[in-house]
Amino acid sequence: MGAMVTRAESAALTRRALLDAAAELLDLGGPEAVTLREVGARAGVTRGAPYRHFMGKDSLLDAVATESWERIGDQMHALRADPALPASEKLRGALRALIGAGRDQPYRYQLLFKRPGHGPGERGEGIDRVMRQLCGPEGDPAAAVRASMRFQDEFLAVVAAFVGERNARHYGALLLAGAHGIADMELSGHLSEDTWRTTADELVDTLVRLVGDTGETA
């Protein structure tokens, strides 16, 4: 079989390999472990090659975060579209999905809620970098924002089906913040069952119950 030959296909393959390698290294040892040299090596290229596809390490990680948001957004969409589940179960599933994502890939999860960097790149402004910025590879931080907004919309729809359109946004924010707080505290070791005598699942149930009791009637 004639394998990839066209340059565009080859580049697309490399790009994908770079993203996969970055995500894998991220899962293994966090952002510090994501080395452009190692990413390149795992993708079968050398250290400088990633700069042909991303503006730098930060942009590469941004792209990983974007794909993570898209995946979680897809999960939300699937949950919302499932006709077999009642609204309360959809909401519970949504919250559990978020917490589960944190458990499965902690570093990738934390990347989702990373503080956005100040501007595109904080290093020097070489001629090559300017060229890349203008017409070069992707370096669009807004992509992650768009993907996260898609997730938020799906999540919001799940909430609205439970508490109604009127209070959906307020309670949606509360529920999302609650789930994220649970996930993040669990990851950082601050939700020790020994201290709080409860579990993430119980907290999710309580959260949904509290919102359901007063949210629906409000």
Partner DNA sequence: GTATCTCAGGTGACAATGTCATCTGAACCC
Partner DNA sequence: GGGTTCAGATGACATTGTCACCTGAGATAC
Judged by the rule CB under 7 A, the positions of this chain that interact with DNA are 5-8, 10-11, 14, 34-38, 40, 45-49, 51-53, 56-58, 121, 123-129, 137
Provide φ and ψ at 138, rounded to 5°. -65, 140
152 binds a second copy (CB under 8 A): yes
91 binds a second copy (CB under 8 A): no
Residues 128-165 as b/e (b if ≥16 CB within 10 A, e otherwise) read ebeebeeebbbbebebbeebbebbbebbbbbbbbbbee
Min dist. Cβ of residue 84 to a second copy (A): 29
Contact between 109 and 183 under an 8 Å Cβ cutoff? The reply is yes
Min dist. Cβ of residue 5 to a second copy (A): 42
Figure out which of the listed residues 1, 2, 3, 115 binds a second copy, where binding follows CB under 8 A.
115
DSSP 140-162: -THHHHHHHHHHHHHHHHHHHHH
Site string (132-151) toward a second copy, x via CB under 8 A:
-------------x--xx--
Interface with a second copy by CB under 8 A: which range of 4-12, 14-22, 70-78, 170-178?
170-178
Min dist. Cβ of residue 34 to DNA (A): 6
Taking the least distance from each CB to a second copy, the nearer of 45 and 145 is 145
Q: Identify the H or E element spanning 27.
A: helix 7-29
26 binds a second copy (CB under 8 A): no
Taking the least distance from each CB to a second copy, the nearer of 85 and 173 is 173
Amino acid at 11: A
Sign of CA dihedral 169, 171, 174, 179: negative
Nearest by Cα to 81 from 89, 72, 90: 90
In eight-state DSSP terms, residue 188 is T
Min dist. Cβ of residue 74 to a second copy (A): 18
Figure out which of the listed residues 11, 30, 70, 121 binds a second copy, where binding follows CB under 8 A.
30
Rounded to an integer, what distance in angstroms lies between the CA atom of residue 44 and that of residue 65?
22
From the list a second copy, DNA, none, which binds 49 (C-beta under 5 to 8 Å, kind-based)?
DNA
